[in-house]
Chain A
Amino acid sequence: MSEFLLETRNLQLAYGPFRAVDGVDLKVRAGTIHTVIGPNGAGKTSLFHCLTGERQATAGKILFNDQDIIRKPSHGRVALGMARSFQLTSLFQNLSVRENLRLAAQGRDGLGALNFWRSVEHKRSHWDTADQVLERLKLNGRAETLAGELSHGQQRVLEVGMSICAKPTLLMLDEPTSGMGIDDIPVMTELISDLGRDHTVLLIEHNMSIVMSISQRITVMSHGQILVEGTPDQVRNDERVRTAYLGEAA
């Protein structure tokens, strides 16, 4: 077994002649919080889509636990131990918070969830998982609230929380602070670093204060390629990174 939980080799996602992801070799070490940053249009989200299975990469390899998963559909990646959150909040709005989490826990059963002759009460473990995650998200008080009635900040927390219900080894979080108010951001930062203790986290994030404070490794992307990879300090002081960001701004 290699030291990397997730590894891409020469990964490519092309839309016609345009290569949104252009030969990316990403290496995510098990047990770390690894962040991908980059200016708008750098290909972060496209890379993320390839990793989650939302888009089919046009070339290259994605190795998860040394297994090439490039042809696996998104639902099939859950059973292997991968889970994701969405940049735009994507919940079951008309179901309770607890039910949202229970469904996410049940998802790992795959086709086992086709069971239609037993009551959901029968599977205690899913309810237990939901309750544990509720506690961890500090949403116990809102367990029976409909997800759609939570505040925006709480919805973002639930969004991230749903991804840990299937007990994944790799958590892929797509801009978890997206649209969050300044007051809610510390809650999210704390949550992610807490989750980092039990899971390997691959984070795509814009908010620099979060990125620098909780990441162990940072990959900077630009024009579909990896520009720099290193520790937060290395990245902060790298001239190329500044140019990439400043060039974008100018």
Chain B
Amino acid sequence: MTDKNPLAVAKGHGPALLLLLIVSLIGLPLILPSATLATEILIFGLAALACNLLLGYTGLLSFGQGIFFGAGAYGAALLMIHLHWGMLGALVGAALFGALLALLVGALAIRRKGIYFVMLTLAFSQMAYFLAYTLSGWTGGDNGLLDVPRPNIEIAGHVLVDLANPRHFYAFVAVLFLLIFAGALRVIRSPFGSTLLAIRENETRAAAIGYDIRHFKILVFMLSGAITGIAGALYAMLLHFAPLSNIDLMMSENILIMTIVGGTGSLFGSLLGAGAIVVLGDVLSELWPRWLMLLGAILILVVVFMRGGLWGGLADLVKRLQPSRTLDAKTKETL
């Protein structure tokens, strides 16, 4: 599933990738019918990016991403509702909450490898769902947590940005996305990130040359949990609502599907994957109530015929059509 050499993307192409991202972030709300849909894409793009750090860069298939997404949503909502925390406080809280839960899940799950690791994340996912279901006093149980606020960005009572406006909220999320994406690029190109690739490639050798694998896996889990927590918080703010489905196994699956469809070899692929699935869901669900079947078919097609995911497919296409990369950077984002 993994692209042959993700370092090829990580090395040297950083500025070009960021430029491509900025163009995409500006173009997205212009192409799509609503700013809300564009915001949703970015939010799931964040969740998929966080999942990609685990799957694409460390080789860890986690079915626990929904835990951190849901936890971020509930955590931020509760902080805002009960403690009246502002926007940034709620986001930091969600990130910490996500990281903390990832520490718990990660510390136990990484004691096993391969299929057993996957099963452990599945088990945690089930537990988290029923925990949220049971604690209905806090989470609203089946009804979800209602009336989640979307606070404005204020300094000393003075409103800097009014986020009630969907376009403003999109811009805010876009800036966050850019910052987190740039941060994640940095992480990939750090000693830590390069070691993750080594672990993905060959765990035994990585241990033999001196790396304590557990520490690396736990740290990447926490980073992933923090980013997913932020995504969950933003989603609750977008909907003004934190449904129980946020922490459902289905959410973990969706995040994984977006990551795989987008391509595990590139962080930008995660945004593509999220975009493709969110837009498809939006379009298809209006045409046909059984649209999830089509989604399954698309996943099969991508996995079988496009091993690098959408990102890999596009990169191939660009290579075949035109020798010049810079021109294509512009055409790529329209997809």
Q: Which residues of A contact B (CB under 8 A)?
A: 52, 73-76, 78-79, 83-84, 86, 90-96, 99, 102-104, 106-121, 123, 146, 162-163, 165-166
Contacts and interface: CB of A to CB of B under 8 A. Distances in A.
A52 B204 CA distance: 12
A78 to B, nearest CB: 3
A119 B189 contact: yes
SS of B interface (majority)? helix
Contacts of B195: 103, 106, 113
B209 A116 contact: no
B148 interface: no
A76 B205 CA distance: 13
Given A107-B210, A116-B223, A95 B5 contact: yes
Contacts of B223: 116
Contacts of B187: 116-117
Interface of B: 4-5, 7, 186-187, 189-195, 197-198, 201-202, 204-213, 215-216, 219, 223
B211 A107 contact: yes
Contacts of A91: 202, 205
Contacts of B211: 75, 107, 110, 113
Contact of A120 (B190, B210, B219): B190
A99 B4 CA distance: 15
Contacts of A75: 207-208, 210-213
A95 B198 CA distance: 8
Given A94-B5, A118-B191, A120-B189, A165 B209 contact: yes
A220 B7 CA distance: 45
Contact of A90 (B194, B208, B215): B208
Given A74-B208, A75-B207, A162-B209, A113 B191 contact: yes
A120 B14 CA distance: 14
B205 A95 contact: no
Contacts of B219: 114, 116
B213 A114 contact: no
A118 B205 contact: no
A107 B207 CA distance: 9
Nearest to B188: A116
B194 A114 contact: no
B190 A94 contact: no
19 contacts: A75-B210, A84-B208, A92-B201, A92-B202, A95-B198, A99-B7, A106-B191, A110-B211, A113-B195, A113-B216, A114-B191, A115-B192, A118-B191, A120-B189, A120-B190, A123-B191, A163-B209, A165-B209, A166-B210
Contacts of A90: 202, 204-205, 208
Nearest to B14: A119
Nearest to B196: A116
A103 B216 contact: no
B193 A166 contact: no
Contacts of A106: 191, 194-195
Contact of A117 (B4, B7, B186, B205): B186
Given A92-B198, A93-B201, A114-B216, A104 B209 contact: yes
Nearest to B184: A116
Contacts of A96: 7
A111 B212 contact: yes
Among B201, B204, B215, B223, max chain A CB count under 10 A is at B201
Residue among A76, A106, A123 with most chain B CB within 10 A: A106
B202 A93 contact: yes
A162 B219 CA distance: 25
B54 to A, nearest CB: 14
Contacts of B197: 92, 95
B215 A146 contact: no
Given A95-B7, A106-B191, A120-B194, A114 B205 contact: no
Nearest to A113: B191
